[in-house]
Structure 1
Amino acid sequence: MCESETPCSGSSDDLPPLLLGTYTPRIDAKGRLALPARMRAQFGPGLVMARGQERCVYLLPRQEFRRIAMRIQRVSMSDKKARDYLRVFLSGAVDQEPDRQGRILVPQMLRDYADLGTEVAVIGVGTRAEIWNRTAWEGYLASQEQGYADIADDILPAVGF
């Protein structure tokens, strides 16, 4: 049984990428970040970078970005909060194609937004990845670990785990 909003064909090719793990690459002096090798193939030929929540930068496969943007746009015409979110989300979005070394340029606007210096963490979050200031990520993770088990008690039964 398929419970997603997209039609099911039974093929794993129809599933979005599954981005996992934590990596600690560096951003070079030119603002370039080498995508973790395990993630490169998941993104395909290109990706979209956008402002994320909690002051991180989202990295989304183009198809996933389009899916999210279309869902928000359907709501945005009648909902002021959705319109506001869409404006901020799309105005900060940048289409990127990795170079031959698998590097992407993180625009200064997004580096400023997420306070990204040289030391970053790239984390897989299922259908997207996030770039965090490494110190901010470590602080966020430490603050969430205590409640992780409590959250699991609420979330996992709801998803049938």
Structure 2
Amino acid sequence: MGEFDQTLDEKRRLAVPAALREQIDPQVDGDGFFLVLGADRHLWLYPDGYYRQLMSSLKRSPLPTRNGRKMSLLFAMARQLKPDKQGRVVLPDKSLQRADVDTELTLVGHDDHIEIWPRRQWEAFIAEHLPTYGETLLEMGDALSSEGPEPA
């Protein structure tokens, strides 16, 4: 979780903040990542182990049979990334171009992945949605309260 402004260096290295890396259990997920082009054309970083489990579940579903050619695109767009000792990963040129990413980025931590946004797009998104943020929180609270508490 969290929001982190980062800058790619001249070698296209992205420093994954320690605050994000600490949220990943290396015993479960390893120390690497998979980079994919997300549904919104932002880059998404998944912990290695989680991504492998996700793909294993996907392969067992009927989706690959129904969408064979589209599945090829999904697998072709995924790249395995290994961080160096400083926690940096090199982002491939093609991935950066497809996501319209320059050197100024914002990393947004989600429950199961990290989104990589061009900073200008993230700031525009915040500017657009911040005025209704309170309403969104209230709607989420209403939805949660109507479901009742989680069983213990």
TM-score (norm 1): 0.75
Structure 1 regions of 5+ residues with no counterpart? 1-19
Which of these residues, 116, 132, 145, is aligned with residue 117 of structure 2? 132
Deviations 1:14-55 (A, max 9, x none): xxxxxx111111101111111111122334311111101322
Deviations 1:72-131 (A, max 9, x none): 331314433xx4553332211111111011110001111111211111001101111111
Between the two proteins, the alignment pairs up a number of residues equal to: 140
Q: Which residue number in structure 2 is paired with residue 93 of structure 1?
A: 78
Q: Which residue number in structure 2 is paired with residue 107 of structure 1?
A: 92
CA contact (8 A) 1:49 1:96 kept: yes
Residue 52 in structure 1 maps to residue 38 in structure 2:
yes
CA contact (8 A) 1:31 1:105 kept: yes
CA contact (8 A) 1:55 1:132 kept: no
Residue 79 in structure 1 maps to residue 60 in structure 2:
no
Which secondary structure does the structure 1 equivalent of 2:85 belong to? coil
Runs of 4 or more above 6 Å deviation: none
TM-score (norm 2): 0.79
CA contact (8 A) 2:33 2:46 kept: yes
Alpha-carbon distance between aligned partners in 2 of 1:152 and 1:84, rounded to the nearest angstrom: 39
Aligned-residue Cα RMSD (Å) equals 2.2
| AA in 1 matched with 2:18 | A
Do the aligned partners of residues 157 and 47 (structure 1) sit closer, same or farther apart at CA in structure 2, a change above 3 Å counting?
Answer: same
Residue 70 in structure 1 maps to residue 56 in structure 2:
yes
Structure 2 regions of 5+ residues with no counterpart? none
Q: What is the percentage of aligned positions where both structures have the same residue?
A: 26
| AA in 2 matched with 1:31 | R
CA contact (8 A) 2:108 2:114 kept: yes
Which secondary structure does the structure 1 equivalent of 2:35 belong to? strand
Which of these residues, 145, 152, 159, is aligned with residue 130 of structure 2? 145
More strand per residue: 1 or 2? 2
Q: Which residue number in structure 2 is paired with residue 23 of structure 1?
A: 4
